[in-house]
Amino acid sequence: MLWASPACAAPVTARTIAAHPAASAAVVVDEADSLTRMLRGAATGQNTGAAGVPEFLRSSRRPDTVLARACRQLNDALPIEIDKETRLRRCQAVPGKHILFQLELTNYSGPMLDLASFEVSYAAPLQRNICANRDVEILTKLGVSMMFRYMTRKARGERRVGDVYINGPICTAALR
């Protein structure tokens, strides 16, 4: 994303930068882009190796603002099919360095789950798989916690199936 400095009346384009090298100082790269890639990797299980994110989050005075911007950018690309049964539908930043990922079970054909049976049957294996992701490891070391909320959609609306909580201590225990 390119932004023009307030002093420039015209938008900054590649042609403007080439013609006026001083204009390149007005270009600001949105640092939330790499964090957005990292959140996408954490939610989908695909490691991104988003370089620069740890230092960016550590040096930010308002990490919740940065996380909210990264979630908004990720939401612009949603929904994303994660696998044949799961779709990432939403990312939401919650104050306190928390991220909520809303996932939809699209083709789940097993028995109808309630919250208690989901917790017993699926939470621990999902925590192991999620915590094994390098992006998740980096985010949790930076103090970011995540909740993966699994939902189904039926004719009568959405139904929450279960939540999987992820933070540093949970990942330490899950990966033992």
Burial of 104 (0-12, 13-18, 19+ CB in 10 A): buried
* CB of 23 closer than 8 Å to CB of 17: yes
Whole-number pLDDT of residue 120: 86
At 16-41, the pLDDT tens digits run: 334 444 444 444 456 678 889 889 99
Query: Which DSSP category does 12 fall into?
Result: P
67 touches 144 (CB < 8 A): yes
For the ranges 6-20, 28-42, 83-97, the lowest mean pLDDT is seen at: 6-20
Domains observed in the chain:
1-30 (no CATH), 33-174 (3.30.300.250)
Quickly list DSSP for 83-120.
ETTEEEEEEEEETTTEEEEEEEESS--SPPP-HHHHII
